[in-house]
């Protein structure tokens, strides 16, 4: 028996993966498999709470999976799957809908945000999204759920559901903890260093995606905002020079050099030399990932074997939890 603690995370294939999420998170995921039994799934069912182009959603789901593998997530060591392939998510999602309160769901910041941004499509799924997310989590009885700041409230709601459900039926679900990784750089937008580099922001010129062509990456870095201070030198001062500090963080994370070393390296050279140098290390970092992603995407049989095996494993685990829940709430056993 595997005695490792369980970790699970879902990622919505609603945008392209960015350099920010790679440096801040994904890059550290490969090593996690040594310590945890990890589940990662492409949350395609969550993606449709906002209108998606079907062909684009399909393409992005597969591309995202391929990119994760290319970033070092070994399908032999991690369970990688597509959410809609494991029907138990929708089924437990329904049950949990009946254990989440209208008032609770109304307080979710993401719901309020998205309702504002999609005023013409405030659908029921957008509102009950956290119930599906709770199901995603609870099916696998994980110890930890790594999430960004923006998803913490949903994990809190999941914990409330666990308390409510277990309070009625006994210890059915394990109480999950949000897991905020200790290390992980926070990479900001190249054009607005006050905002995080985000995958879903439309036409964000401050973003570099994992699959951007080298010339696009270089262009992004050359036009990255630096700061309007007069000294124009490469110095780490996040408060007064947030643009430069962000570029230095990117450079530091990739090269392993300290801020002091970077300051020395670019001493007297100014931003005109520094910005393309950052672009260069990013291009070199992404080149093998891009090549590997393309190879994987071309090998349809391989990709299919990965998500099939992942769904099979996930479904076995999920089914156990779902059976138990169905029994507890009083459904007649089908077999």
Please identify every residue annotated as catalytic. 114, 196, 199
Size of the site for ligand TRP (CB under 6 A): 12
Residue-by-residue DSSP string for 201-258? STT-TT--BTT--HHHHHHHHHT------SS------TTT-HHHHHHHHHHHHHH---
Residue 314 is a binding residue for ligand TRP (CB under 6 A)? no
Closest to ligand TRP by CB, 12 vs 60, is 12
Closest to ligand TRP by CB, 66 vs 145, is 145
CB 143 within 8 A of CB 6: yes
Q: How far apart are CA 224 and CA 121, in angstroms?
A: 34
Considering only residues 137, 208, 218, 322, which one is a binding residue for ligand TRP as defined by CB under 6 A? 137
Considering only residues 133, 162, 254, 317, which one is a binding residue for ligand TRP as defined by CB under 6 A? 133
Residue 136 is a binding residue for ligand TRP (CB under 6 A)? yes
Closest to ligand TRP by CB, 41 vs 266, is 41
CB 248 within 8 A of CB 242: no
Q: Which stretch binds ligand TRP (CB under 6 A): 3-11, 180-188, 200-208, 319-327?
A: 3-11
Considering only residues 118, 123, 141, 151, which one is a binding residue for ligand TRP as defined by CB under 6 A? 151
Nearest-approach distance from CB 172 to ligand TRP, in angstroms: 18
Q: How far apart are CA 130 and CA 115, in angstroms?
A: 14
Q: How far apart are CA 80 and CA 307, in angstroms?
A: 6
Q: How far apart are CA 38 and CA 25, in angstroms?
A: 14
Residue 43 is a binding residue for ligand TRP (CB under 6 A)? yes
Nearest-approach distance from CB 206 to ligand TRP, in angstroms: 20
Q: Which stretch binds ligand TRP (CB under 6 A): 29-37, 131-139, 254-262, 264-272?
A: 131-139
Q: Please choose, from the candidates 14, 12, 21, the residue with its C-alpha nearest in 3D space to the C-alpha of residue 198.
A: 21
Q: How far apart are CA 17 and CA 32, in angstroms?
A: 19
| Beta-bridge mates of residue 178 | 145
Nearest-approach distance from CB 110 to ligand TRP, in angstroms: 7
Residue 46 is a binding residue for ligand TRP (CB under 6 A)? yes
Tokens of 131: 């119930």
Q: Which residues 261-280 are close enough to bind ligand TRP by CB under 6 A?
A: none
Considering only residues 6, 7, 9, 310, which one is a binding residue for ligand TRP as defined by CB under 6 A? 9
CB 60 within 8 A of CB 16: yes
Residue 159 is a binding residue for ligand TRP (CB under 6 A)? no
Q: Which residues are within 8 A (CB) of 91 and not within 5 positions of it... i.e. 6 or more apart? A: 135, 322
- SS3 assignment for 140-170: CCCCEEECCHHHHHHHHHHHHHHHHHHHHHC
Nearest-approach distance from CB 135 to ligand TRP, in angstroms: 9
Q: How far apart are CA 108 and CA 128, in angstroms?
A: 10
Closest to ligand TRP by CB, 46 vs 159, is 46
Considering only residues 26, 65, 131, 145, which one is a binding residue for ligand TRP as defined by CB under 6 A? 145
Closest to ligand TRP by CB, 147 vs 317, is 147
Residue 147 is a binding residue for ligand TRP (CB under 6 A)? yes
CA distances from 9 to 61, 137, 243 (A): 15, 8, 30
Residue 12 is a binding residue for ligand TRP (CB under 6 A)? yes
Q: Which residues are within 8 A (CB) of 157 and not within 5 positions of it... i.e. 6 or more apart? A: 100, 104, 105, 108, 130, 134
Nearest-approach distance from CB 203 to ligand TRP, in angstroms: 20
Which positions touch ligand TRP (CB under 6 A)? 8-10, 12, 43, 46, 133, 136-137, 145, 147, 151
């Amino acid at each position: 028996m595997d005695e490792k603690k369980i970790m699970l995370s879902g990622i919505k294939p609603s945008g392209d993966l960015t350099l920010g999420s790679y440096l801040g998170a994904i890059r550290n995921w490969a090593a996690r498999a040594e310590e945890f039994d990890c589940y990662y799934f492409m949350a395609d069912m969550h993606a449709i709470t906002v209108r998606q182009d079907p062909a684009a959603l399909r393409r992005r789901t597969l591309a995202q999976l391929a990119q994760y593998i290319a970033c070092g997530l070994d399908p032999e060591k991690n369970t990688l799957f597509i959410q809609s392939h494991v029907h138990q998510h929708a089924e437990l999602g329904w049950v949990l809908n009946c254990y989440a309160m209208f008032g609770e769901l109304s307080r979710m910041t993401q719901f309020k945000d998205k309702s504002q941004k999609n005023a013409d499509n405030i659908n029921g799924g957008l509102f009950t999204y956290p119930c599906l997310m709770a199901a995603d989590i609870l099916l696998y009885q994980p110890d930890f759920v790594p999430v960004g700041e923006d998803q913490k409230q949903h994990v809190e709601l999941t914990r409330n559901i666990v308390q409510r459900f277990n309070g009625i039926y006994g210890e059915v679900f394990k109480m999950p903890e949000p897991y905020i990784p200790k290390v992980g750089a926070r990479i900001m937008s190249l054009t607005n260093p006050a905002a995080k580099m985000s995958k879903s922001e439309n036409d964000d010129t401050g973003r570099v995606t994992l699959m951007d062509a080298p010339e696009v990456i270089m262009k992004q870095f050359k036009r990255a905002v630096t700061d309007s201070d007069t000294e124009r030198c490469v110095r780490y001062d996040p408060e007064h020079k947030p643009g430069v500090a962000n570029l230095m963080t990117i450079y530091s994370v990739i090269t392993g050099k300290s801020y002091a070393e970077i300051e020395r390296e670019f001493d007297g050279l100014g931003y005109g030399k520094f910005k393309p140098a950052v672009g260069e290390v990013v291009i070199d970092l992404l080149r093998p990932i891009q090549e590997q992603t393309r190879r994987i995407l071309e090998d349809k049989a391989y990709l299919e074997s990965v998500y099939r095996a992942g769904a099979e494993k996930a479904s076995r685990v999920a089914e156990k939890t779902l059976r138990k829940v169905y029994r507890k709430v009083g459904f007649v056993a089908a077999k």
